[in-house]
Amino acid sequence: AQTVTQSQPEMSVQEAETVTLSCTYDTSENNYYLFWYKQPPSRQMILVIRQEAYKQQNATENRFSVNFQKAAKSFSLKISDSQLGDTAMYFCALNTGNQFYFGTGTSLTVIP
């Protein structure tokens, strides 16, 4: 069975500072993908970043980067230079085959 765990229900960060959101997962598959999605108050689910398990290099998208530790099954998201628009719920997700598995989310608040 596949599981995704986000152990931080809520976090806050000062504007312009850096914050890291944690995610661990469990799967017996060798080929899989990992994602971080952002859900602002508008409710829309927005893809932030993706990582292919067979790639050792950590993915980066502008201010967003991941720390992918395959052996430890850890996939954390780092947000640099936090902005007010980063306030949202963040979901970590694992894709294997035809299904996605989501964590329970981390609510991030950026404080002005």
Regarding 103 and contact with other proteins (CB under 8 A), the answer is yes
Q: What residues between 36 and 95 interact with other proteins by CB under 8 A?
A: 37, 42-45, 47, 50, 91, 95
Instruction: Locate the DSSP E strands across 6-112.
Output: 10-14, 19-21, 24-26, 33-39, 46-52, 60-61, 64-69, 74-79, 88-96, 99-102, 106-111
Taking CB under 8 A as the binding criterion, the range among 10-18, 31-39, 59-67, 75-83 that sits at the site for other proteins is: 31-39
Taking CB under 8 A as the binding criterion, the range among 10-18, 21-29, 57-65, 99-107 that sits at the site for other proteins is: 99-107
For other proteins, the closer of residues 18 and 76 by Cβ is: 76
Question: What are 79's strand-pairing partners?
Answer: 19, 64
Minimum gap (Å) between residue 6 Cβ and other proteins: 8
For other proteins, the closer of residues 5 and 14 by Cβ is: 5
Cβ density class 101-112: b for 16+ within 10 Å, e for less: bebebbebebee
Q: Kindly calculate the radius of gyration of the chain based on its CA atoms and give it in whole angstroms.
A: 13
Residues forming the site for other proteins (CB under 8 A): 4, 9, 31, 33, 35, 37, 42-45, 47, 50, 91, 95, 97-100, 102-105
